[in-house]
Chains A and B, each alone.
Chain A
Amino acid sequence: MTGDIPVDSRAQRLVRVRRFVRTRRGGVATGLVVALLAGGVGTWATDTWPFDGRDRYCWGAWQEDSGPGILGDEGFEGDDDRSRTSTGSAPTSREPRGQCRLSVSSSDTYQGDKDQQDTTVTVKYGPAPESAGRRVTWLGGYLGDRAMPLPDGLPGVADGNHGLLVLPERCDTRDGRPTAVTLDASEGAEADDVLPAVPMLGGSQDVARLLVAAANKGMEAAGCADGEPLRVSGPLPTLPEREESFPSGAICRIPGLDIESDLGKEMAMRLNYQVGAVNDDLQSCSARIGRSLRLGERADQPLFDAVMVREPRISALLDGATGTKAPGKGWRGTGTFASDYGIVRAGCAGRPTSFLLLGASTGTTSDYFATFTNAVARRLGCAPVAPAADAEGGRR
């Protein structure tokens, strides 16, 4: 009868368990176990996890693996020495300026060659730069080239590695200047790079999402959030066309904007342009001389960027930057032509419309800018802004 003893002891154990469950402490403990189990099943089933150990960056605005490429696994280009850190301070209601720098690095060794990734993403929260010149080049840098407007009326633009978003009026500074959030990414150069490295954030859609997430957190920290966070609704529009590297005749489809004939044969071959957004609020044309690897050039040489902007909130960033006088003889509106930029603002079809020029505003470039300005004004259905070369308004 040796077998009876373990059976008995098992039974006793069961009895003891049952008795324990029936005590108050036992009841609490059992309830806890059941609750934990149910919670576990729930989190698993809904695919959420309260204690996931995911890192947060930049004022807590960005969370690891929350969507944008740079915050996920694909943000690392190499397999070794992966690290992702951020430094910076959030805006406060007293000091509504903030900035943050996200650093992502990794390395990869392939056949003895070491590839180092050093991606830096800088986010800034605050008003536009004070001085007119810096403001024009700052804004033009975001609006020109390959930038596209954010979807569904968000006042901002983004491309693959930088973007700008103007916050709602409730976040304006006390003297009425709008607050903007900007994002810029750069990639550390390596000595043996043939071409400058391009930071990979995951595409312009991801840049827009990073921008909006930083804006929401920034507004919260600065005390001007209103409970309804901004969001990117729907995909970003895409550029109407690719970079054109064999232009013939007028560039950017702007009638009369014929640069080729002013360039030498060698340079004309290397001319290329990019048409950016062309809509009611924004239009840009970027002309460059393509890099020549034969001559050891590592970057395109910009000729000029011409931008028209009349989106009310983005346009408000330029308030006070145009002065009170016409920029030149025969020009309508107010503005300035400086050595490295030009700006003119005039009423156009019922809205103040700004035309920006990045690049020297002298000589032929100034003529190109006049052609661009009048062609765009004509497209929008308003009187010429630049001194017209002929009765048609264009310079055909």
Chain B
Amino acid sequence: MSDDKSTIGEGNSMSGEGTSMSDEDKGTVTPTEPEGAASPGRADKPADKAADKPLGVLAAAIAAAPPPWWHWRRLGRLARARWTPVVGAAVAGVLLGGAGVAWQAEAGPFHEERACWGALGEDDVADLFHGKRDIESSEVGVSRDSIASDGPSGLCELKSPRGMRVRAQLHRLDDRFGGDRDKWADEYLSARMVPLGGGLLGMVSDTRAWLAIPEGCVGRPGERDGPLVIDMDAGWTTYDDDVDTDERARLARTVVKLVNGYMADQGCDSPIGDPTDRLAEPARFIDEKRDAICGIKGLALPGKGVGGRYDRPLVTKNTKDTPVRTCDRDVLFGHPSLRLMTVEDPRLAVLYKGLSFDGGSEVTAVGDTKKESRGRGFLREDTGLYQASCQTGEVTFLIRADDDGHAAEIRRLLPRYVALEAERVGCGPLRLRMPS
């Protein structure tokens, strides 16, 4: 042991000096050993302060004092002990193993905060919030109600301290009361939305996004069930035809990630690709001609036409695989005062199946026989609806007003609207017989 001590003392006089500088200032260390012990080492340095006697004594004392346990000198000595390699190897092994386990389990330093049912990583959330990373998330996990058979559901909210809030929801669309209780259809099938394309059932705007979980993964919903969707609500915008396409792309990417996350949980390993490149240009207000209400050639009303001077209609952009074509006018807080809508996708038209059995004066089609009919429909003061069976499946034609003030217009518009739209979606000829 004495051997070791001397080696340290000799070999390290140089650095001992370095530490002495700072210790001097404190002036707390008092010499406990004769100054001669360390002086030979210092004497041969010309620029040394060794000439200054008290300081020399101090430095010598420091060099000679037993270093504290954590000091590298002592640790260095430890490294020379016989058992050290074994302990060292064990410690290294434990560290490596622990790090490996932590990595694999994504715990500790490898843990990533994931939001919205584990579907969004930190980068994904930052992408949605313009690169900001101080987003709070809270959620109600995905669960299933085994009594009401409403299908799986879950909620998630992402909130920025600057006020922006995005809500995501997993739920089965309600087909019992028409358009998932109208509010969903008003907002999520609005003319501001464009389809996500690529055969997907989903749409997006700069404030709303929705995407059905592909049936190839979760199976087809029951005969009278709506599709299972994840939708996103990013708040409001002053309603006009101006859609922020960057914001829209962010929502589109995120809703696809949410659906991919849900599918991965269900054991489906074919994620959907990024849809943003194929999104269509947003719709703009159209200048309506007298004989082309909502831009539908041949749809006309005698007299002044529909609506006033200022409520130009917004019509869903005509793209290849849009599930709906909506014509909204006079929209207030996402609620149109008059809507003409054709739901072309049978998976979505099921939302109006329940309503089509609803009350009102019955609308039939020319050519209906007792055995076979083209579909079902009714007329009310505020609603005209016809659900037809087409080659592609069920198609819903709907005219809906927010009050009874449009009753005469609806009655006049419905047969003509259905005939023209049926022709467009490949379901013609379809002529309605209106109740008297």
Q: Which residues of A contact B (CB under 8 A)?
A: 10-11, 14, 17-18, 37, 41, 44-45, 67, 149, 151-153, 204-205, 209, 232-238, 240-241, 248-250, 252-254, 278-280, 283, 375-376, 378-381, 392, 396
Contacts and interface: CB of A to CB of B under 8 A. Distances in A.
B273 A234 contact: yes
A45 B103 contact: yes
Contacts of B131: none
28 contacts: A11-B82, A17-B85, A37-B96, A44-B100, A149-B199, A152-B198, A205-B216, A205-B270, A233-B270, A233-B272, A234-B199, A234-B270, A234-B272, A234-B273, A235-B214, A235-B217, A235-B270, A237-B199, A237-B216, A238-B219, A241-B393, A249-B372, A252-B391, A253-B391, A253-B393, A283-B391, A379-B392, A379-B426
A354 B214 CA distance: 29
Interface string B399-436: 00000000000000000000000000011110000000
Interface string B259-292: 0000100001111110000000000000000000
A14 B83 CA distance: 9
Interface of B: 82, 85, 96, 100, 103-104, 198-200, 214-217, 219-220, 263, 268-273, 320, 346, 367, 371-372, 389-393, 426-429
Nearest to B82: A11
Tell which of B270, B320, B427, B429 has the most Cβ of chain A within 10 Å. B270
Contact of A240 (B200, B216, B263, B393): B393
B131 to A, nearest CB: 27
Contacts of B268: 205, 235
The B interface is mostly helix, strand or loop, or mixed, namely loop
A27 to B, nearest CB: 15
Contact of B371 (A205, A248, A392): A248
Interface of A: prevailing SS: loop
A152 B273 contact: yes
Contacts of A205: 216, 268, 270
Given A234-B198, A250-B372, A67 B214 contact: no
Contacts of A204: 216
A305 to B, nearest CB: 16
A206 B223 CA distance: 26
B346 A240 contact: yes
A380 B428 CA distance: 11
A253 B389 contact: yes
Contacts of A375: 391
A81 B422 CA distance: 59
Given A152-B273, A234-B200, A253-B393, 6 more contacts: A44-B104, A235-B217, A238-B216, A253-B389, A254-B391, A379-B391
A14 B372 contact: no
Contacts of B96: 37, 41
Contacts of A279: 392
